[in-house]
Amino acid sequence: MPLCLVAQKPTLAIQVDKPTAKVSPTLYGLMTEEINFSYDGGLYGELIRDRVPGRGWGSLTSWPAVMRGANSSVAIDLDGKSGPSSAITHSLKVTVKAADASSPAGVENGGYWGIPVRANTTYTGSFWAKTDKAGLTVSVALENDQTAEVAASTSVASIGDQWKEYKFTLKTGAVPTSSNNHLTLTVTQPATLWLDLVSLFGPTYKNRVNGNRIDLMEKMAAMRPTFLRLPGGNYLEGNHINERFNFKETLGPWVNRPTHPSPWNYRSSDGMGLLEFLEWCEDLNMEPVLAVYAGYSLEQEHIEPGPALEPHVQDALDEIEYLTGGPETRWGAERVKNGHPAPFALHYVEIGNEDEFDHSKSYDGRFAQFYKAIKAKYPQLQLIATTPVNSIRPDIIDDHYYKSTEAMYELVGRYDKADRNGPKIFVGEWATREGDPTPNLAAALADSAWMTSMERNSDHVIMAAYAPLLTNVNTKGMQWATDLIGYNALSSYGSPSYYAQAMFYSHIGTEVVPTTLAGTPSRVYTVATRDEKARKLTIKLVNATGVAQPLAISLSGVDKVAPEAKLITLSGKSPNATNSIDHPTEIVPVESTVKIAGPKFNQTLVPYSVSILELNY
C-alpha cells in the first residue's frame, strides 16, 4: 500500500472558558524623551527654533539678519551680559546701524525646517525685549521663504529700555498652506534691540497655552495608551550630571527656565517641562510613569551612594510631591502656583535609566538608597529598577529590547516560562529596528509577533512601551532610526508599526485565554483575550509569511457565537512596504465584517498581515 502523507490542516484552538491570566490594565503605553526633535521641533507647539539664543550650541545660526531696501544695516550678536532673568542671562543683540520705512532691518527665524502657515489661523506670539531707543516699534511678520509674501503681520509699539515681555497675535487670511516660512522682527530706525524668548504658537491640542501640536496628539490619542514613561531614556540622565533632567528648572514661566543640553546633541528649550509632560498625560488619559534621576549620567559620571547622593534622593521625593502633594506641601504648592491645583495619580516610579551601563557598578547601592527613602514616604508606590539588583528586591524591572527582525522573532516566548515569583516586568523600551526613519512592514510584523507574547504574559509583563516614539524626518532631524511616528513642520504619519500598535492597544480583553496553533509555519503567531463582562473575544493573528494562511478556528467553552465579527487587517504586498511623509497611508488598517459559522469557523490570513478578529460569544 503506498503511504499517502496528508499535511495537517492548520488549526487554531481557543479555550474561551479557561483564562490563564489577567491582562494588565496598564499593558500598553508610551515612552518619551527629547530625541529626534521630539518636543522642540515636534510635539511641543513652539514654532521658533532656539527661542533662547545662546553661544556654544550654534543657535545664532537660527537667527540670521534681515536687511531690506537700499539703506539697511544690522549686526546680530549674542550678548552674554544681559538677559531677562537670573535664569536666562544672555540675549540676542540686534544692532541696527541703518534703517528707515522703506529699508527695515532686524532678524528672522526659520523655525524647525520651516514655519507652517495655514489659512485663517491665529498665531500667538511673544518676546522679551529692551532697547536703547525707548518707544521703539518692532514689526513682526510671517513671510514666505520663496515669494517673500507676507501671510500675516503686526507691530509691537513702545519697547522700553528695561527687560519686559511683549505679546502679539498674527492672523492669516486666505493664504495657501505652506511650511517654508520664517518670522521676521524688524525696525525702521537705527537702534539696538535686545531680544529673548521669541515665541510663536499656532493652534494647540485642546487649546492649551504652551501646548502641543494637534496632529501628533491625535495620533497618540488614537493608540489609547494607558501610561507615559517620562522624561527618558538618556534624556533623564544627560551626558553629564549637570545636564540631567532637573525638574526644578523646568517649572513656571519660561523666563525662569534656563534650558539645558540634551544628550542627543541639541539644546532643550524646556518648554516641555515637568508640568507639560503631566498635562500631556492628562489630555490623553494616561498615567505618568515617573523616571527620577538616580545619580548616573551617560559619560560614566556617577554619585556614590551615601551622603553625596542624598540631595538627588531629596529631589526625587520633591518631584513625587510635585505630582501628588496637596497645597499644604512645599512642592504641591508649587504645582498649584504653576496652575494645576489637582494632584496627579501616580503609581509607578522608575529609578534611573539603563543603569547596567554604569561601569562603576554603583546602581545596587544607589537603587537601595532611593528605594528606602521613597518607600518610607510613599509605601504605596511601585518602584522600578532599570537592571537587576541584589541588595533589595525591586517591585518591577525595566527590560529594554532593540532588535533586528530575526532577533525579535527569537525573542517571542522570552517570558513564557519566566519565574512568576520574581519582580514584575516593565518592557520600558522595545522596537524592531528595520526601516529608516520609521519602521517598515517587516518590522511591524515582528513587533506584532512580540506583542502577542507580551500580551500572553501580561500577568508578568505589566507594562510595555515602544521607543523612540517620535522623529522629525528632516535631514539632521533624527538621531536614532526606526521611530514610530514621523513628521515635518506641516504634517505627520504613522508607520506600519504605529498602526499595528494602535490595533493591539485599543483591542484587548481583560483575561488571556489559551490558544493552540497546529500545522502552521513558524512565522504565524496568535494571542486571544476575552472580556467576560462584554462577552467579547479578541483574537490577534500575525501572518509574517508571504503566503495566505487558511486557519480552521475552533472555540471551546462557548455555546454560541454572534454570526458576524469585526475583522481589522493591516497588510502589504512586500515586507519592505512602508509609509512615509510623502506616502503616509500605504499601509493602514482596513476594517470589515466577516460571517462566523459558529464556534468552529474558517478564516484565512492574508500574506504579510496583522489581523484582529473581535467577536461576541
Please give the residue ranges that form the binding site for ligand AHR (CB under 6 A): 33, 35, 232-234, 353-354, 429, 467-468, 480
288/468 with CB nearer ligand AHR: 468
33/50 with CB nearer ligand AHR: 33
- Residue pair 94/192 in contact (Cβ under 8 Å)? The answer is yes
Neighbours of 102 (CB within 10 A): 11
The cell 492672523 sits on which residue? 171
Give, as one character, the DSSP assignment of residue 435: S
Instruction: For 298-415, list the strands marked E by DSSP.
Output: 301-302, 348-351, 382-385, 396-403
Neighbours of 143 (CB within 10 A): 19
322/466 with CB nearer ligand AHR: 466
172/353 with CB nearer ligand AHR: 353
35/290 with CB nearer ligand AHR: 35
Q: CA–CA separation, 239 vs 552, rounded Å?
A: 54
Output the smallest distance, CB 253 to ligand AHR, in A: 29
Q: State the burial class of residue 18 (Cβ atoms within 10 Å of its Cβ: 0-12, 13-18, 19+).
A: exposed
Output the smallest distance, CB 162 to ligand AHR, in A: 42
20/300 with CB nearer ligand AHR: 300
Output the smallest distance, CB 524 to ligand AHR, in A: 29
Output the smallest distance, CB 354 to ligand AHR, in A: 5
The cell 529673548 sits on which residue? 196
Output the smallest distance, CB 237 to ligand AHR, in A: 8
Output the smallest distance, CB 480 to ligand AHR, in A: 5
The cell 551617560 sits on which residue? 298
- Nearest 5°: CA angle at 122, between 172 and 130? 100
Q: Helices in 340-399 by DSSP H: which ranges? A: 363-377
112/430 with CB nearer ligand AHR: 430
33/321 with CB nearer ligand AHR: 33
Output the smallest distance, CB 236 to ligand AHR, in A: 8
- Residue pair 467/233 in contact (Cβ under 8 Å)? The answer is yes
107/478 with CB nearer ligand AHR: 478
Output the smallest distance, CB 529 to ligand AHR, in A: 28
- Residue pair 299/356 in contact (Cβ under 8 Å)? The answer is no
C-alpha cell at 472: 522629525
Q: CA–CA separation, 376 vs 393, rounded Å?
A: 15
Q: CA–CA separation, 551 vs 389, rounded Å?
A: 45
Q: CA–CA separation, 463 vs 382, rounded Å?
A: 12
Of 524, 513, 585, nearest to 554 by C-alpha is 513
196/301 with CB nearer ligand AHR: 301
Output the smallest distance, CB 178 to ligand AHR, in A: 32
Output the smallest distance, CB 31 to ligand AHR, in A: 7
- Residue pair 430/464 in contact (Cβ under 8 Å)? The answer is yes
Q: Helices in 362-465 by DSSP H: which ranges? A: 363-377, 405-411, 441-456
Q: Helices in 52-131 by DSSP H: which ranges? A: none
60/298 with CB nearer ligand AHR: 298
- Residue pair 430/467 in contact (Cβ under 8 Å)? The answer is yes
Q: CA–CA separation, 274 vs 252, rounded Å?
A: 10
Give the CB-nearest residue to ligand AHR.
Answer: 233
Give, as one character, the DSSP assignment of residue 420: T
175/467 with CB nearer ligand AHR: 467
Angle between helices 496-506 and 214-223 (to 10 degrees): 50
Output the smallest distance, CB 387 to ligand AHR, in A: 12
Output the smallest distance, CB 551 to ligand AHR, in A: 36
Output the smallest distance, CB 265 to ligand AHR, in A: 13
What residues does 164 pair with on adjacent strands?
129
Q: State the burial class of residue 29 (Cβ atoms within 10 Å of its Cβ: 0-12, 13-18, 19+).
A: buried
Output the smallest distance, CB 467 to ligand AHR, in A: 4
470/610 with CB nearer ligand AHR: 470
Q: Is 425 helix (H, G, I), strand (E, B) or coil?
A: strand
Per-residue three-class SS string for 481-538: CCCCEEECCCCEEECHHHHHHHHHHHCCCCEEECEEEECCCCCEEEEEEEECCCCEEE
Q: CA–CA separation, 586 vs 578, rounded Å?
A: 6
Cα-flanking dihedrals φ and ψ of residue 411, to 5°? -75, -20
23/35 with CB nearer ligand AHR: 35
